[in-house]
């Protein structure tokens, strides 16, 4: 029964995120898990956390099946086995968090539920964000984007919100169990954290910079199975050109990831002449192969007064490159993914000049990893993300990705232009609010204005350090009081 309850709690947790955004369900979801972890032995705590992970990731990232079976061509049974293995690995993180917090099982209830357990859970969320190249999907803090706690996003990022939310849930549990001087003190401290979030929400870390930029995002909904067919190439390029001709009044026109299904080096003089003669600046996704027969990159081209290129750094495992090819060869041979052997760019890159401003650039999956583009943001006035979300079909993933993109704007206080091939192309303001969005699976053009900004938020300057410091500040006295209670 305890494992079934944990499984249900994990599944309920998925509804806290986009497209549902029922963030208040974090309370029952984690109350169940925290309660089940109380007085459970280490082995039991491990399996409780594992069951929670199976519910959360089994439902929340089920779209992986669509990616590798519908579009990757893998046989259904093998695809199901691969997805199950992936969910198994992800579930190990909350399982290990449960095992670790159980090592403090004899400490005081308040110390454990308010601090130790939240610290352990957030620690393994953080580890999941970078180990094995990282998979930071469904990190708790993303669910709190539209809550009063969002004021902390520019200060400490998503993990700070995760910790404050979980320690708040633990405090509620402590108050329900017993109201005494200690629980009242803890409640006042946590209330102070919420108050600081409100204060930070009123504080501006950035200010407007220069004139607003008028933008047109071209979303052509090109079918993924047609995109890389050579006979379709010219028609695809022509459609982008033809639609862009209607928007000569815009400062910036953006096409999505891989909009040009060819190498830059192969494009005709007529194409480059079109860009040169058009009054707008352009940003678009394409392939880049600096040397014939050499490495090739998933790139973004900025075409304005000159030509600048950003090459993708954080590639998607099994989508853009294949790790452990010798070990996984029997499985990988069933994947028929076009253009799936990219090289990662491993050198420092600067923001791209667009429409009189600098844009911090990311390609698709990269916007889930804020630490990897923090170096671009201080001098940039806006964020730019180009994506190919057709891989996810009609699933939760495009909505989850948009929510993470909104969080990137909130924590950096920069507007974002987000261009996707098949839907949810959007303009996001500096507070993380979507101001214009295109529907899914339709050809559309998103038009609007963004106001670039300047200034550096604490998160952009220090990354996850503020969140780690807060957890350490609260953890040390909790361990001290917990040990005293143990004695």
126: Cβ contacts below 8 Å, ≥ 6 apart: 159, 464
Beta carbons within 10 angstroms of residue 487's beta carbon? 4
| Active-site pick, 16, 312, 366, 388 | 312
| Active-site pick, 16, 82, 120, 364 | 364
Q: In this structure, what are the phi and psi dihedrals at residue 434, rounded to the nearest 5 degrees?
A: -75, 120
344, 393, 384: which is closest to 364 by C-alpha?
A: 384
| Active-site pick, 16, 21, 250, 257 | 257
The residue with tokens 């028929």 is 336
How far apart CA 149 and CA 381 sit, in angstroms, is 25
Q: Does residue 181 have an active-site annotation?
A: no
Write the DSSP string, 192-255.
Answer: HHHHHHHHHHH--S-EE-SS-EEEEEEE----HHHHT-GGGHHHHHHHHHHHHGGGTT-SEEE-
Q: Are 233 and 262 in contact (CB under 8 A)?
A: yes
Strand 357-363 and strand 382-387: the pairing is parallel
Beta carbons within 10 angstroms of residue 463's beta carbon? 16
- CA-CA distances (angstroms) from residue 461 to 397, 416, 440? 29, 19, 35
433: Cα separation from own chain's centroid:
16
Q: Does residue 82 have an active-site annotation?
A: no
Q: Does residue 257 have an active-site annotation?
A: yes
Instruction: Enumerate the active-site residues.
Output: 257, 312, 364
């Amino acid at each position: 029964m305890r494992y079934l309850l944990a499984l249900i709690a994990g599944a309920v947790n998925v509804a806290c995120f986009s497209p549902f955004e029922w963030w208040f369900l974090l309370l029952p979801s984690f109350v169940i898990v925290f309660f089940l972890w109380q007085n459970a032995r280490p082995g039991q705590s491990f399996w409780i956390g594992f069951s929670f992970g199976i519910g959360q990731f089994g439902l929340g990232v089920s779209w992986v099946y669509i990616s590798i079976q519908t579009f990757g061509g893998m046989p259904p049974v093998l695809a199901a086995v691969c997805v199950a293995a992936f969910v198994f690995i992800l579930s190990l993180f909350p399982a290990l968090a449960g095992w670790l917090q159980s090592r403090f099982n004899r400490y005081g209830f308040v110390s454990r539920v308010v601090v130790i357990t939240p610290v352990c859970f957030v620690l393994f969320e953080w580890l999941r964000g970078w180990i094995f190249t990282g998979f930071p999907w469904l990190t708790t803090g993303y669910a709190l984007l539209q809550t009063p706690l969002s004021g902390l996003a520019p200060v400490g990022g998503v993990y700070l919100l995760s910790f404050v939310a979980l320690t708040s849930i633990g405090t509620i549990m402590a108050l329900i169990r017993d109201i005494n001087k200690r629980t009242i003190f803890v409640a006042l401290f946590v209330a102070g954290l919420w108050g600081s979030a409100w204060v930070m929400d009123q504080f501006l870390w950035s200010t407007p910079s220069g004139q607003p930029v008028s933008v047109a995002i071209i979303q052509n909904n090109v079918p993924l199975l047609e995109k890389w067919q050579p006979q379709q190439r010219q028609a695809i390029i022509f459609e982008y050109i033809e639609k862009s001709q209607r928007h000569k009044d815009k400062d910036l026109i953006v096409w999505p990831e891989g909009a040009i299904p060819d190498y830059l080096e192969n494009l005709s003089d007529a194409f480059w002449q079109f860009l040169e003669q058009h009054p707008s600046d352009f940003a678009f996704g394409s392939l880049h192969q600096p040397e014939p027969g050499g490495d090739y990159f998933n790139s973004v081209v900025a075409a304005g007064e000159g030509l600048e290129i950003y090459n993708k750094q954080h590639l998607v495992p099994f989508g853009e490159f294949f790790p452990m090819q010798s070990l996984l060869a029997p499985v990988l041979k069933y994947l028929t993914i076009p253009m799936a052997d990219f090289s990662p760019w491993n050198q420092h890159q600067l923001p791209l000049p667009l429409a009189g401003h600098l844009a911090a650039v990311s390609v698709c999956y990269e916007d889930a990893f804020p630490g990897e583009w923090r170096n671009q943001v201080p001098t940039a006035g806006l964020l730019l993300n180009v994506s190919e979300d057709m891989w996810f079909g009609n699933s939760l993933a495009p909505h989850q990705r948009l929510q993470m993109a909104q969080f990137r704007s909130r924590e950096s206080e920069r507007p974002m232009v987000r261009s996707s091939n098949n839907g949810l192309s959007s303009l996001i303001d500096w507070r993380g609010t979507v101001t214009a969005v295109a529907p899914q699976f339709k050809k559309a053009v998103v038009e609007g204005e963004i106001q670039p900004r300047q200034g550096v938020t604490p998160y952009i300057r220090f990354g996850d350090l503020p969140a780690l410091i807060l957890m350490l500040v609260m953890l040390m006295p909790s361990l001290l009081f917990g040990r005293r209670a143990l004695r």
